[in-house]
Chains A and B, each alone.
Chain A
Amino acid sequence: MTIGEPAVLVLEDGTRYAGRAWGAKGRSLGELVFNTGMTGYQETLTDPSYAGQIVVMTAPHIGNTGMNTDDEESRQIWVSGFVSRDAARMPSNYRSERSLDDELVAQDVVGITGIDTRALTLKLRETGVMRAGVFSGDDAAIAQKEQLALVSQGPEMAGRNLSAEVSVEKVRVVPAVGSSIGSLAVVDLGIKESTVHHLAARGFDVHIFPESVEWASIEQIEPVALFYSNGPGDPSASDRHVEILRTALEKGIPFFGICFGNQLLGRALGFDTYKLKYGHRGINQPVKDKTTGRVEITAQNHGFAVEAPRDAVVDSPAGFGKVEVSHVSLNDNVVEGLRALDIPAFSVQYHPEAAAGPHDSTYLFDRFRDLVVDRTPGSSAAGGDR
């Protein structure tokens, strides 16, 4: 148990919050964001979209259910730092294999606990996200001025391409569960295991490509569809992925994108993206499906969003025909989904795989499967195993 020694959280604007060391000791630098999920800290930690970020959990007790192998969303913890109000002293859950504190130490993640996370969150809501640093162990003794200088020298999230840091290094194939409806090309911009699981369960042979992939390699597997995952960083710094996507759209290959993938579809269709003040991060975000009028409670994790007209069907500025905003956030009317009407492509800004989060939106994976099956002539897999 390493919880107890003094540590400090330093914000870009010079604000300091004293707390106690949690997890590994040393320093972590990154963009400070808050997450409002009351469950699912393990999924959050291992979600590649959080790469480069120091995550503040607004739920006060973190670590109660320990850590287990089943709930990992990728091969490692990606957050650069972790901030909580009250770190659990012992896990209480039958699936727990090890404590969160031990895991943070093992993966060298510098955290801090005993922080007034409510005050901190209110501040971030007012000022917007900013750079920050956690200093513990020997680094806690660094002069205050120097700590602030280190924080200010940290990289800005805007303009940052982080996909390369989180993506797989070589192609990984996950076979379809049941009968296959064909090969799906997935570009791993920071994909989560739950997403892969959902796609394979819908009958896709899932080929997960590193983000450095070229169109030629994708073409080789003769994909029945293309999928872009969620991921960290600024969508305006991913021109190459936008170009690959345009190539696929021109060929009429069905496309589904989530989160970062939504932003890239937005860009491919000719819309702009912008950075939100403090982003949407949590598992209770209400979204309205404009076609059905239904409300979904969704898991979200995005700091950037697509700018597109919400009120009417518009022409794609990049010449891909008619496009509509299919989903909007009921909290602030931010674009949460896009659908092309003349080509088989759609995307959502939230996380239908929802780990952590409610399972209201898994129907989107069915919609993707249907989109592909309906277009595959003579497909024998229509209505096949799922």
Chain B
Amino acid sequence: MPRRDDIKTVLVIGSGPIVIGQAAEFDYSGTQACRVLREEGVRVVLVNSNPATIMTDPGFADATYIEPITPEVIEAIIAKEKPDAILPTLGGQTALNAAIQLHERGILEKYRVELIGASFEAIQRGEDRQQFKDLVLEAGADVAASFIATTVDEAVDYAKELGYPLVIRPSFTMGGLGSGFAYSEEELIRMVSDGLHQSPTHEVLLEESILGWKEYELELMRDNADNCVVVCSIENVDPVGVHTGDSITVAPALTLTDREYQRLRDIGIDIIRRVGVDTGGCNIQFAVDPSTGRVIVIEMNPRVSRSSALASKATGFPIAKIAAKLALGYRLDEIPNDITQVTPASFEPTLDYVVVKVPRFAFEKFPLADRTLTTTMKSVGEAMALGRNFSQALNKALRSLEQRGSSFHWNELTHTAEELLAVAKVPTDGRIVTLQQALRAGATIEQAHQAT
């Protein structure tokens, strides 16, 4: 199917100011989208409040609004510019949230503006915990088992089923208040009592812990003829419990057999179909139990993400650019492959090298901040390196951080293996170097594995 000719003007929503967890990657994807749309003769209207972006340079859009990304402002822009469609999937969570609000306030309907890239329903299905859980189960995959308890006794009963440690999340509290891990019944009783007290609905969610499981991600693309490709697999070096953005990650995944990898691929494709991302990219995160191989789907983002930028640079498959073309109605096999120019984009890149991404932290600027890495992202940037094997890529990436002490070193040992392993037990920014020092000090690989 050639591209749609009913789309003449598109509003692209940028991602606003750079914050921890959402940085320059969305300028990269949004800029690519603007460029593609203009090449296709589409009039581009852009809204983004961040001046330090390439997309807001003159020449990338036909009309650029440096304005707050709020429904009110966007409505005013829509009223003036009368776009046929909005492309919200390339501006991170900010843009996606803005699109949801526009839909909910009836603004899209009022001005007859279509969401392209992902429909409102698809965005909802990806974001709504319960809907997403049902859909994962329909796809034959699993999610972390969970129960809602309203009394301490109930919680103790459920805990017998889930096993320890388990996660406790009181419902409707702000900023994760009262949530955490319980490692024993004693802790559970204490935390659930607190949690029930803090929760306005007197409910706590008990969830099976997948702490320490292996974490993988797939970057997928789908077109309107239902062709699906996996652009890249990514494996996290840090296990579940450390946010992907704070984890050292490797592409392609290196410790999956073909059977295991294809299962993730099957689940991923099934989910992108069920969620209904018709044209564009999505990112799916999996946890795999290292001792049984049980697969749990953690979450999916129906948009380009931080990992998409990495996957694009790692494989040469320009996800944002192709997502923009798919949104215009092209099919994957109608878009030329950027690298070869002669073969189509409906292929899955294969690498003869390894890509490593390491996060860059800036705790030195926040001396009071807790350096422990958790499920909330704390890194402020990242560095990527390519190598012909893992060790080469990892060392290059660590050196790229331009930070003292972040690379492996052979200076005089100042601590014993036991001391270093004790430090490595808690995930922090310098853990990989601590581990290297521990191995130098005589720790075995098994001890290092135990500690982390």
A-to-B contact residues, CB < 8 Å = 36-40, 42-43, 58-61, 64-65, 68, 70-71, 85-86, 92-95, 117-118, 121, 282-286, 288, 293-295, 297, 330-331, 354-359
Which B263-303 residues have C-beta < 8 A from chain A? 265-266, 290-293
- Using CB atoms, name the residue of chain A closest to B261: A39
Provide the residues of chain A in CB contact with B66, threshold 8 Å.
Answer: none
**Residue among A43, A60, A68 facing the most chain B CB atoms (10 A cut-off):** A60
Residue numbers in B under 8 Å from A358 (CB-CB): 230, 262, 265, 348
A-B contact pairs, 11 of them (CB 8 A): A39-B262, A40-B258, A58-B350, A60-B388, A86-B389, A93-B256, A94-B290, A284-B349, A286-B333, A294-B227, A331-B347
Q: Do B258 and A37 touch across chains, with their CB atoms under 8 A apart?
A: yes
**A297 — which chain B residues lie within 8 A by C-beta?**
229-230, 346-348
B447 part of interface (Cβ distance < 8 Å) = no
Docked Cα-Cα span, A70 to B293, in Å, equals: 14
Task: Tell me which of A40, A117, A354 contacts B352 (CB under 8 A).
Answer: A117
Contacts A60-B352, A294-B227; A286 near B261 (Cβ below 8 A): no
**A118–B343 Cα gap in the complex (Å)?**
21
Q: Is the beta-carbon distance between A65 and B255 smaller than 8 angstroms? A: yes
**B residues within 8 A CB of A42?**
257-258
Shortest 8 CB-CB contacts between residues of A and residues of B: A40-B258, A356-B258, A39-B258, A284-B348, A295-B346, A58-B352, A295-B227, A36-B350
Interface size class, chain B: 35 or more
Please tell me which one of the listed residues A36, A40, A61 contacts residue B257 in the complex, with CB atoms under 8 A apart: A40
Q: Shortest distance in angstroms between A160's beta carbon and chain B's nearest beta carbon?
A: 28
Bound: A85/B253 CA distance, A: 17
B333 touches A61 (CB 8 A): no
Give chain A nearest CB distance to B144 CB in angstroms: 19
Residues on the B chain within 8 Å of A286, using CB: 333, 343-344, 346-348
B4 contacts chain A at the CB level, 8 A cutoff: no
A153 to B253 alpha-carbon distance, docked (Å): 40
Q: How far is the CB of A295 from chain B (nearest CB, A)?
A: 4
Q: Within the complex, which residue of B258, B333, B351, B388 is in contact with A357, where a contact is CB–CB below 8 Å? A: B258
Within the assembled complex, what's the spacing in Å between the Cα atoms of A294 and B230?
16
Tell me the complex Cα distance, A68–B262, Å: 17
Chain B residues within an 8 Å CB radius of A70: 259
Most chain-A Cβ atoms within 10 A of its Cβ — which of B259, B346, B347, B354? B259
- Whether B262 pairs with A61 at a CB distance below 8 angstroms is no
Chain A residue at smallest Cβ distance from B288: A94
Which residue of B is nearest A117, CB measured? B352
Q: Which residues of B contact A43 (CB under 8 A)?
A: 258
B226 interfacial by beta-carbon distance below 8 Å: yes
Chain B residues within 8 Å of A121, by CB: 352
- Please indicate the chain B residues that have their CB under 8 angstroms from the CB of A293 in the complex: 225
Is the C-beta of B353 less than 8 angstroms from some C-beta in chain A? yes
Closest to B351 in A: A38
Given contacts A61-B389, A64-B255, 5 further A-B contacts (CB under 8 A): A38-B252, A93-B257, A293-B225, A295-B344, A355-B258
Check if B390 is an interface residue, CB within 8 A of chain A. Answer: yes
**Once bound together, how far apart are the Cα atoms of A293 and B226, in whole Å?**
10
- Cβ A61 vs Cβ B354 within 8 A: yes
Which of B291, B293, B353 lies in contact with A60, CB distance below 8 A? B353
Q: Mark B118-137, 1 if CB is under 8 A from A, else 0.
A: 00000000000000000000
> Distance in Å from the Cβ of A139 to the closest Cβ of chain B?
27
Task: Report which of B225, B229, B257, B353 forms a contact with A95, defined as CB distance below 8 A.
Answer: B257
Q: Which residues of B are found within 8 Å of A86, using beta-carbon distances?
A: 388-389
Contacts of A94 in B (CB 8 A): 290-293
Q: Point out the residue from B257, B349, B352 that lies within 8 Å of A39, measured CB to CB.
A: B257
Confirm or deny: B413 has a beta carbon within 8 angstroms of a beta carbon on chain A. Answer: no
Given contacts A117-B352, A121-B352, contact A61 B347 (CB under 8 A): no
Residues from chain B with Cβ under 8 Å of A118 in the complex:
352, 388
Residues of A within 8 A of B226 (CB): 294
Asked if residues B257 and A65 are in contact (CB atoms below 8 Å), the reply is: yes
Interface hits, B334-362 → A, CB 8 Å? 343-344, 346-354
Q: Which residue of A lies closest to B333 (CB)?
A: A295
Chain A proximity of B305: nearest CB distance (Å): 22
- Minimum CB–CB distance from B351 to chain A (whole Å) comes to 6
Residue of A nearest to B257 (CB): A65
A330 to chain B: which residues have CB within 8 Å?
333, 343-344, 346-347
Q: How far is the CB of B54 from the nearest CB of chain A, in Å?
A: 32
Taking the nearest CB of chain A, how far is it from the CB of B213, in angstroms?
Answer: 11
Bound CA–CA A286/B340 (angstroms): 14
Contact A59 B257 (CB under 8 A): no
When distances are taken between beta carbons in the complex, the residues of chain B under 8 Å from A95 are 257, 260, 293
Residues of A within 8 A of B262 (CB): 39, 354, 356-359
- Interchain CA distance A65-B259 in the complex, whole Å: 11
Instruction: Give CA–CA (A118, B353) in the complex, Å.
Output: 9
Nearest-Cβ distance from residue B137 to partner chain A, whole angstroms: 20
B52 within 8 A of A: no
Q: How far is the CA of A68 from the CA of B226 in the complex (A)?
A: 35
Asked if A68 meets B227 with Cβ closer than 8 Å, knowing A86-B389, A284-B350, A286-B333, the reply is no
With a cutoff of 8 Å between Cβ atoms, the chain A residues found around residue B351 in the complex are 38, 59
> Which residues of A are found within 8 Å of B253, using beta-carbon distances?
39
CA–CA, A284 to B353, complex, Å?
16
Given the complex of chains A and B, what is the CA–CA distance between A43 and B260 in angstroms?
A: 13
B338 nearest CB across to chain A (Å):
15
**C-alpha gap A295/B335 in the complex (Å):** 13
B72 to chain A, nearest CB (A): 43
How many whole Å from B413's CB to the nearest CB in chain A? 24
Confirm or deny: B73 has a beta carbon within 8 angstroms of a beta carbon on chain A. no
- Known contacts: A94-B293, A286-B333. The answer to whether A71 contacts B352 by CB under 8 A is no
With both chains docked as a complex, state the minimum distance between the C-beta of B451 and any C-beta of chain A, in angstroms.
Answer: 17
- Compute how far the CA of A94 lies from the CA of B349 in the bound complex, rounded to whole angstroms: 27
Name which of B233, B266, B291, B347 has the most chain A CB atoms within 10 A of its CB. B347
B residues 346-381 touching A (CB-CB < 8 Å): 346-354
Q: How far is the CB of B265 from chain A (nearest CB, A)?
A: 6
Which residue of chain A is the closest to B388 with respect to CB atoms?
A60
Rounded to whole angstroms, the CA-CA distance of A279 and B430 in the bound complex is 46
Q: What residue of chain B has the Cβ atom nearest to residue A297's Cβ?
A: B348
Most buried by B among A37, A38, A118, A354: A38
Closest CB in chain B relative to A288 CB, distance in Å: 6
Q: Return the CB mask of B212-228 against A: 1 if under 8 Å, else 0.
A: 00000000000001110
Q: Does B394 contact A (CB under 8 A)?
A: no
- Distance in angstroms between the alpha carbons of A85 and B266 in the assembled complex: 29
What residues of chain A lie closer than 8 Å to B266, measured between beta carbons? 359
A285 contact set on B, CB distance < 8 A: 347
With A and B bound together, what is the CA distance between A39 and B257 in angstroms?
Answer: 6
Q: With the chains together, A102 CA to B227 CA distance in Å? A: 41
Whether B177 is near chain A, meaning CB under 8 Å from some CB there, is no
CA distance in complex: A38, B261 (Å): 10
- Minimum CB–CB distance for A328 against chain B, Å: 11
Q: Collect the chain B residues with CB atoms within 8 Å of residue A64's CB.
A: 254-255
Q: With a CB–CB cut-off of 8 A, which chain A residues contact B388?
A: 60, 85-86, 118
Using a CB-CB cutoff of 8 Å, which residues 235-265 of chain B contact chain A?
A: 252-262, 265
A283: B residues at CB distance < 8 A: 258, 350
- Given contact pairs A94-B290, A94-B291, A282 touches B350 in the complex (Cβ within 8 A): yes
Q: State whether the Cβ of B327 lies closer than 8 Å to any Cβ in chain A.
A: no
Q: Contact mask B156-199 → A, CB, 8 Å, 1/0? A: 00000000000000000000000000000000000000000000
Closest CB in chain A relative to B254 CB, distance in Å: 5
Most buried by A among B292, B349, B350: B350
